[in-house]
Chain A
Amino acid sequence: QQQVRQSSQSLTVWEGETAILNCSYENSAFDYFPWYQQFPGEGPALLIAIRSVSDKKEDGRFTIFFNKREKNLSLHIKDSQPGDSATYFCAAKAGSALGRLHFGAGTQLIVIP
């Protein structure tokens, strides 16, 4: 059973637009939500993360909006650049679960110049 779902397999935006990547989860025990960015030929790398006590986390052009009641979150990439073209994985972890990150299937973002 897929515990973390990403609503879009792919997303295409124009340079300068805000890209919005959506994610939802099943398990109410999840309290840590990292987003990973993966470029071709590389492994996923942590981009930004949020804990369930917060509803927003911002880091430069990247912002996570978190809705605990609805069990969903979104990653907003403001002023998208061609260099942001990558696959983005939403993940979730329960604080008590040693090491176990549950991943979504990823959204491939394409930013057109």
Chain B
Amino acid sequence: DTTVKQNPRYKLARVGKPVNLICSQTMNHDTMYWYQKKPNQAPKLLLFYYDKILNREADTFEKFQSSRPNNSFCSLYIGSAGLEYSAMYLCASSREGTGGKEQYFGPGTRLTVL
């Protein structure tokens, strides 16, 4: 099973409210990623976990939090949503440590902030 699951598929949030997105995979991958995708733009890497180590990109460091309570699950947390957070959020996973390295993507969560 090469499925990455994301919940919810659609999320409506109010400006200033928190948002929590969930991702899961059962491939025993050591690395899980979160990307932000806006129309006509490239998917932008926000952060990733390699095993238990969180790596956040410099330009999104303060905007997004994440947790990985176990190997299979990873969340993306926005403490106070702004209009600019409206986007598709893609979760992916891969096995970086032992080769392969193909990233498998989930279907995405479309976040709309009003």
Task: Report whether chain A binds chain B.
Answer: yes
Cα-based distance from A42 to B105 in the complex (angstroms): 9
Q: How many A-B residue pairs have CB under 8 A?
A: 52
Partner of A106, one of B31, B42, B45, B103: B42
Partner of B92, one of A43, A98, A106: A43
With A43-B108, A99-B55: A2-B40 Cβ-Cβ less than 8 Å? no
Partner of B105, one of A2, A43, A98: A43
Residues of B close to A2: CB separation below 8 A: 42
Which bracket fits the contact residues of A?
A: 20 to 34
Residues of B close to A106: CB separation below 8 A: 42
Cα-based distance from A103 to B45 in the complex (angstroms): 9
**B residues touching A (Cβ–Cβ < 8 Å)?**
4, 31, 33, 35, 40-45, 48, 50, 55, 90, 92, 94, 96, 101-108
**A residues touching B (Cβ–Cβ < 8 Å)?**
2, 4, 9, 32, 34, 36, 41-46, 49, 89, 93, 98-106
